[in-house]
Amino acid sequence: MTSSPTLRVAAIQQTCSTDKQESLATSETLIREAAKGGAQLVVLQELHATQYFCQTEDTAIFELAEPIPGPTSGHLSKLAAELGIVLVGSIFERRMNGVYHNTAVVFERDGSLAGLYRKMHIPDDPGFYEKFYFTPGDASFNNGSSGFTPIQTSVGKLGVLVCWDQWYPEAARLMALAGAELLIYPTAIGWDMSDDDAERERQLEAWVTVQRGHAVANNLPVIAPNRIGTEPDPSGQSDGIRFWGNSFICGPQGEFLARADNSSQQVLTVDIDTGRSESVRRIWPYLRDRRIDAYGDILKRVRD
C-alpha cells in the first residue's frame, strides 16, 4: 500500500438515469467532489452508467454494452488523469459478439488501465436476471492467474470484486491470500417492493454483516458503494426495485468508518490507517492458523 500512514478513500452512492450520459455526468460530479476532498482512491457503484437493466430479459439491452477501451472507460480514464486519483468504475463490457461481462475497471493516477475484474459469481433471481446478460469472469486478463487476483496500483493492491461476489467468503479469502490490501465491492442491490419492513431489515443487515465479516476474517478494510433510488421494471411484471443505499467503509476489524443513508446521493470519504491490517494480523493471526491440510472438501459442490 502507499507509504503514507493514511490513505484517503471515497465511496460514491448515486442515483442512475435511463440516459447513460446523464448518469455519467452525475458520477463525474461526485468524483470531482471526492477528489476535491482529498480522496486518493475513488470507488463507484456497480453499473453506475445505467439503471439496473437486469430486472428483465431483453436482447435490445445488449446495445448498452461497450468494449474496453471504449467511450465510458475513456471518460473515466481522463477523469483519473485530470484529478490524479486511482478510480474504480463499472462497465457493461462487450468482449465479443455473444460474450458480455459485468466488469470493474481500475484506472491509475495517470489514466492508464491498471487492471480489470470480470464478475465471477452471476446471480439469476427474480428481478436480478444477470445470467441472461453476463458471462462469468475468467483469468484471461491476468496472464493466466486466478480470477481472484488483486490489481496493483499506486495506492496498494486492490481486491476488487462485484456485488454478488460479496456473499462468498471464498472470494474474499482468495483475494487476501493473493496479497489484497483492500476489499472493494461495487454493488447494485435493493428490495423487492412487495417485501415488508421486517424482511427489508433482515436483508439489509445480512448484506452489511457478511461484508463486515469478510473484513474481520481477513483483517482488511472493505469499501462497499451501493446505488439508491426506485427503478421500475421495464417489463411491468413487478413493481421494480428500491435500492437501499447504505454504502459503507469499514476497517479490518469490521468497525464502521463511514456509512451512508438509504436515500441520499453521498460521497463517503475516510482516512484508512494503512498499517492497521498488519497490526491486527499480529494479534489475530487467522491466516497463520488455517488448517489447509483439512480443507480439501471445500472444492466439492456438496460434501457427501
Residue positions annotated with a catalytic role:
46, 119, 163
Q: How many residues are listed for the chain in this entry?
A: 304
Contacts of 177 (CB under 8 A, 6+ apart): 287
CA angle, 95 as apex, 91 and 96 as ends, to 5°? 140
The full DSSP string for the chain is: --SSSEEEEEEEE----SSHHHHHHHHHHHHHHHHHTT-SEEEPPTTTTS--GGGS--GGGGGG-B-SSSHHHHHHHHHHHHHT-EEEEEEEEEEETTEEEEEEEEE-TTS-EEEEEE-----EETTEEGGGT-PPP-SGGGTTS-SS-PEEETTEEEEE--GGGGG-HHHHHHHHHTT-SEEE-----EEETT--HHHHHHHHHHHHHHHHHHHHHHT--EEE---EEEE--TTSSS--EEEE---EEE-TTS-EEEE--SSS-EEEEEEEETTHHHHHHHHS-TTTT--GGG-GGGGSSS--
Alpha carbon distance 214, 159 (integer Å): 12
> Are 271 and 40 within 8 A, CB to CB?
no
